[in-house]
Amino acid sequence: MCLGLGALFHGWAGDNEVQAAGITIHEQIVVKPGDTLWSISEQRVEKGEDVRIYIQKLKKLNSLTSSALQAGQVLQLP
């Protein structure tokens, strides 16, 4: 049986995420040397959104218990 993409993808859940069969897929980035949660968040925060709130979302989504990042680390973006 062949299903089209319309059957596979449930629909857009936001700007950079797709829900497929109840699974949310987030955009990912690879941490570069010198990146911080603040610098990453500052580049991606919605206009008017508090960068600190975005950092909290980023930490929660990636199960981060500290703000320390390592080059090469993969982060999912909220």
Domain CATH code at residue 71: 3.10.350.10
Residue 57 within a domain: yes
Residue 37 within a domain: yes
Residue 16, pLDDT score: 53
For residue 60, CA distances in Å to 11, 30, 57, 77, 78 come to 24, 17, 5, 10, 9
For residue 66, CA distances in Å to 49, 59, 62, 75 come to 22, 8, 11, 14
Compute CA 22 distance to the chain's CA centroid, rounded to the nearest angstrom: 17
Q: How far apart (Å, rounded) are the C-alpha atoms in residues 20 and 69?
A: 29
Residue 5, pLDDT score: 41
Q: Please tell me the total count of domains within the chain.
A: 1
Task: For residue 72, give its domain range.
Answer: 27-78
Q: Which residues of the chain have pLDDT under 70?
A: 1-21
| H or E element that contains 40 | helix 37-44
Residue 10, pLDDT score: 41
Residue 2 within a domain: no
